[in-house]
Structures are given as structure tokens and as C-alpha cells.
Chain A
């Protein structure tokens, strides 16, 4: 991997980190266990590896944004996660923030594109 590729990869991961948290919280409005959650995200183009997902779930749970319980399903014990009441409130604020950032970024990108065309 060249130095530029490495820089790009680090910036890409940085860019995705915040949005992954948001996507996980949105998906956990419906109760899911880790593996199914990962698959659901991947099907929608939000690939997340298990070494990122599980520590993230634990962090969100320790912050009180998620609740979890071990239950048996198909003869196997699984840990199911769902968004807590506090998590729901935070998620609504985060979605609002995300939309605002997205709109601003679209404006910035649009301005940049116009300037490039003029140049």
C-alpha cells in the first residue's frame, strides 16, 4: 500500500466511524443480535467488521444507549440488542445533526464543483 493509499484509508475510516455508529443505532430500533445486525448493515452497503461492531455495541451499552439480553434462539444462546429510551432520544438528535451536516456538505461540495467548472 502506497503512502497516499494509506492516508486515504485512514481518512476513509475516520469519515465512516461516526456514520457507522448512527447506522448501528438506527438498525437497533428493531431488536437484533450481533451477527444478524452485521448482515443487515452489509446488505444496505454499510459493511462493518466484527472487531468494530462488538466493541461499539459494548460502548453504546455502557453509555446507556443500548439494552441487551442473552436469549436462546434455535438451540443457541444469543445476545440481543435494542435501542434504549435514552438511545432513542439521542438517535433523533443525531439524525437531525447528520441531516444538517449532510446539507452543509452538499452546499460546500456544490460550491467546489461550480468553482472547478469555472476554473
Chain B
């Protein structure tokens, strides 16, 4: 029985040994053995008989798995600490979700149009590698920053001046629209209306690399509605520049314009491949058909993105309408002592 006792304890301690920190390993094991031996001896005295294998196993089980026991002696370490972690997560999300994935989504149809199905699949199969590589590179950069800068960040946290904190942004009152944004919208509305008129008067066609892209009748059908919407948007921005207090009128007009833009975009979306005609006397028929399909796919992705943006803007305007009734921005400013 003594042999069993020693055998089980030896096996237990050996398993603990594997993951213990090297420099203190023997010392820790000797102390653990001393503690286990004392516990087993005391238990034997309590029971009045020699411990069975099951008794010893129960005691060792209660002490915890060898890896758990060893882990308690290892100091807690992290690759990226709390000072850097929020920035790390932000950069990771930005690069993975807003750079790499959209990059692939836009590249794949273009590659399909120019080089075919197999080339597009080859591009798409590189997506996981690109994601993992970006993840690895970003993590390595932040680990390096953690090692070199974190002491500086902690020092900066310790030595800071409340007087150097940035000023609290002034929330525009709900009964006035920000004039600067309206000026931006006015300039942008004039610019895009000009572009739209110029393109219409000079024809809807483009030539590149021996491929002729023309924009068939469907574009002419949406010319006037789109121009009307662009002009309405421009006029509305002009009104806000001079009358920024017309919040509710502005929000309602924007919702109407967004609805119009969504309908025009939906028309283009449902036109699909018919929205662009591609011809190229030098190109084989198969390549031409592929290019037509790829461009149509790219356009569909673009139209969906545009529709989503209009829908988001509608939600923003609805929120503005509700805010103009409840005036939380005023409350916010007054809560901040403004």
C-alpha cells in the first residue's frame, strides 16, 4: 500500500513538474510533496488505517489538476496589456472589417470581369490568408508596442494635467442645424448636379483598353428624376445656410429626397446587366460576356451599398425629427453647464 501511495503521489508531482517555471521547479515540488505527505499522514491518523488508492486519489483530485496547480505558480502574463488593448481591438476591427473584406468584395468582380472565374476564385481563396496575416501582423506590432511603449503610457497616465484635456464639444441645439454642414452639402450638391448635366450632355459612354462601355436607355430614363433630386438637395442645403432653424422642414425634405434616391437606385439595381452595355471588337465573345457579368455584379454591390446609405440617412433624419421634439441636446448642454 505504501508503494501505491508513493507511486500515485510521484505521478501527480511529476505531472505538476512538467509545467512549472524552471528556476524554482525542484523547490516548489519539494514543498508540495511535504504538504501532501503531511495531509496523507494526518488523514491516516484520522481514519486509523492505511489509505487505499481510492483515498489518495480523492485527496489528490481535491487538490486540483496538475496543470492547474502548476499554473498558480506562473506569474500572469499578457501579450497586450489593458493600456494598449482597446486600441488594438479598434485597429483590428478597422483593418479586418473595413479594409480587407470590402477590398476583396470590390476586387473579386473586377478580377472576374478581366480574368475570369478561376482568377476570381484564386483571389477569394486568398481571403483567409490575408485575414490571418493582417491579424498576425497587427498583433505583432501591438506586442512590440506593448514591450516598448507601455511604460511610457503609464508614465503619461501618472503625469497628466486636467487643464490640457480637450474642450467638450458643443451640441447644436435641436432647433438649429449646423451651418457648416449645410455649406458642405450646398457645394457638394452644385458639384454633383454639374457632373450629372455634363455627363448627360457629353454622352454616357466610356472607352478603356479596347473595351467600350456605354450606358443604355435606363440611365437616360433616370436622368431627370436624379437631376431633380440633386437640385432639391442643393436648394434645401441653401435654405439651411440662411434659415438653420428649419429643422423639421429639413428632416422631412431629406426623408423625401432619400426615398426618391432609393427608388432611382433600386431601378438601376433591378436593371442589372442592362445598366451597362460592353462591346469590344478585339475581345472574344466569352471574355466579353464575363466582363459584362462582372461589371453588372460590381454595379449591384455598389447600388446595394448606396441604398443602405440612404436608409441610414433616413433613420438619422427620423432621429433628428424626434430629437427636435424632446430636445435631449439642450439637456445635454445644460448638464454640461452650457
User: Chain A residues in contact with chain B, CB under 8 A?
Assistant: 33-35, 38, 49-52, 54-55, 58, 70, 76-79
Judging by beta carbons under 8 Å apart, are B72 and A76 in contact? no
Question: Contact mask B1-36 → A, CB, 8 Å, 1/0?
Answer: 000000000000000000000001000101110110
Q: A50-B63, A58-B24 are in contact. Are A77 and B35 (CB under 8 A)?
A: no
Judging by beta carbons under 8 Å apart, are A55 and B34 in contact? no
A113 to B38 Cα, complex, angstroms: 46
Judging by beta carbons under 8 Å apart, are A35 and B39 in contact? yes
Judging by beta carbons under 8 Å apart, are B63 and A51 in contact? yes
Judging by beta carbons under 8 Å apart, are B30 and A54 in contact? no
Contacts of B38 in A (CB 8 A): 35
A49 to B32 Cα, complex, angstroms: 12
A50 to B73 Cα, complex, angstroms: 11
Tell me which of A35, A51, A55, A77 contacts B64 (CB under 8 A). A51
Minimum C-beta distance from B150 to chain A (A): 22
Chain A residue nearest in CB terms to B32: A54
Q: Is B242 an interface residue (CB 8 A)?
A: no
Contacts of B37 in A (CB 8 A): 76
Q: Is B68 an interface residue (CB 8 A)?
A: yes
Q: A54-B28, A77-B30 are in contact. Are A35 and B35 (CB under 8 A)?
A: yes
A43 to B291 Cα, complex, angstroms: 83
Contacts of A78 in B (CB 8 A): 34
Q: Can you spell out 18 A-B residue pairs with CB atoms less than 8 angstroms apart?
A: A34-B34, A35-B34, A35-B39, A38-B35, A49-B63, A50-B35, A51-B69, A54-B31, A54-B32, A54-B72, A55-B73, A58-B24, A58-B28, A76-B34, A77-B34, A78-B34, A79-B30, A79-B34
User: Chain B residues in contact with chain A, CB under 8 A?
Assistant: 24, 28, 30-32, 34-35, 37-39, 63-64, 68-69, 72-73
Contacts of B31 in A (CB 8 A): 34, 54, 79
Q: A51-B68, A51-B69, A54-B28 are in contact. Are A33 and B63 (CB under 8 A)?
A: no
Contacts of B64 in A (CB 8 A): 51
A77 to B35 Cα, complex, angstroms: 11
| 17 further contact pairs, Cβ within 8 A, besides A33-B34, A79-B30 | A34-B31, A34-B34, A35-B38, A35-B39, A49-B63, A50-B32, A50-B35, A50-B63, A51-B63, A52-B72, A54-B32, A54-B35, A54-B73, A55-B72, A70-B30, A77-B30, A79-B31
Contacts of A33 in B (CB 8 A): 34
Minimum C-beta distance from A37 to chain B (A): 10
Chain A residue nearest in CB terms to B74: A55
Residue of B24, B30, B64, B72 ringed by the most chain A CB atoms within 10 A = B72
Contacts of A38 in B (CB 8 A): 35
Judging by beta carbons under 8 Å apart, are A51 and B34 in contact? no
A74 to B53 Cα, complex, angstroms: 25
A88 to B72 Cα, complex, angstroms: 26
Residue of B28, B30, B31, B35 ringed by the most chain A CB atoms within 10 A = B31
Chain B residue nearest in CB terms to A79: B31
Minimum C-beta distance from B17 to chain A (A): 15
Contacts of A58 in B (CB 8 A): 24, 28, 73
Contacts of B68 in A (CB 8 A): 51
A34 to B32 Cα, complex, angstroms: 9
Chain B residue nearest in CB terms to A70: B30
A53 to B186 Cα, complex, angstroms: 71
Chain A residue nearest in CB terms to B73: A55
A70 to B29 Cα, complex, angstroms: 13
A35 to B63 Cα, complex, angstroms: 13
Chain A residue nearest in CB terms to B34: A78
Contacts of A55 in B (CB 8 A): 72-73
Chain A residue nearest in CB terms to B63: A50
Chain B residue nearest in CB terms to A50: B35
Judging by beta carbons under 8 Å apart, are B72 and A51 in contact? yes
Minimum C-beta distance from B32 to chain A (A): 7
Minimum C-beta distance from A48 to chain B (A): 12
